A = this chain, B = another copy of it.
């Protein structure tokens, strides 16, 4: 963490506008390049501060991302609850924890925000959420080793489509179905993706 020339813009390290400038720069970088391609160093440069200061304020890139997108819900504890079941109940657990969040007022606002980003030139800002959610899930189900990312990504395909069908497009029975019925119908799909035998992994 060398101090670059961009770290000398005159902002006082402790001032509130430094924190705000870092968050604004992070939003721009994540939106333009996505989560994976954005570095803490690039955010620091864009904000005109030292990378060490970004780490001091926000910790990891993941924490910086979560602060920048300013989610109304912290995904950490939700992920913990989802994963707090035996492996063979993970599929239903995902449905039972995620769908009620979508269905809540907070969830509806979040889905509206996501819809707005989909029309943009690139919904790269969303990519961080997938990296975090899919990454956590993938680590849990990486059996045989190396299949975890594919498994987590397949779960993402089903859950993205379920959210779209239930809350954006309004596909007939899906929009009005109970969480129990969705867990029974869609849970086994997720379960197979997570722990089933996959052809060529």
Residues on A lying within 8 angstroms of B by beta carbon are: 115-116, 118-120, 123, 126-127, 130, 134, 149-150, 153-154, 156-166, 168-174, 181, 184-186, 188-189, 192-193, 198-200
25 pairs of residues in contact across A and B, judged by CB atoms under 8 Å:
A115-B119, A118-B119, A118-B164, A118-B168, A123-B168, A123-B169, A127-B170, A134-B172, A149-B172, A149-B173, A153-B165, A153-B173, A153-B174, A156-B161, A156-B165, A156-B174, A157-B162, A159-B161, A160-B165, A181-B199, A184-B199, A185-B193, A185-B198, A189-B192, A189-B193
Distance between Cα atoms of A162 and B189 in the complex (Å) = 13
Are A154 and B123 CB-contacts (below 8 A) given A118-B115, A160-B160, A161-B164? no
Oligomeric state, in number of copies?
A: 2
**A interface: dominant SS:** helix
Chain B contacts of A157 at CB under 8 A?
A: 158, 161-162, 164-166, 171, 174, 186
Given contacts A153-B173, A173-B150, contact A158 B127 (CB under 8 A): no
| Residue on B nearest A178 in the bound complex, by CB | B200
A126 proximity list for chain B (CB < 8 A): 169
Chain B residue numbers with a CB within 8 Å of A166 are 157
Complex Cα–Cα for A116 and B150 (A): 29
- The smallest C-beta distance from A199 to any residue of chain B, in angstroms, reads 4
A172 CB contact (under 8 Å) in B153, B159, B169: B153
In the complex, are the beta carbons of B188 and A192 less than 8 A apart?
yes
How near does chain B come to A115, taking the closest CB pair, in angstroms? 5
Closest to A196 in B: B188
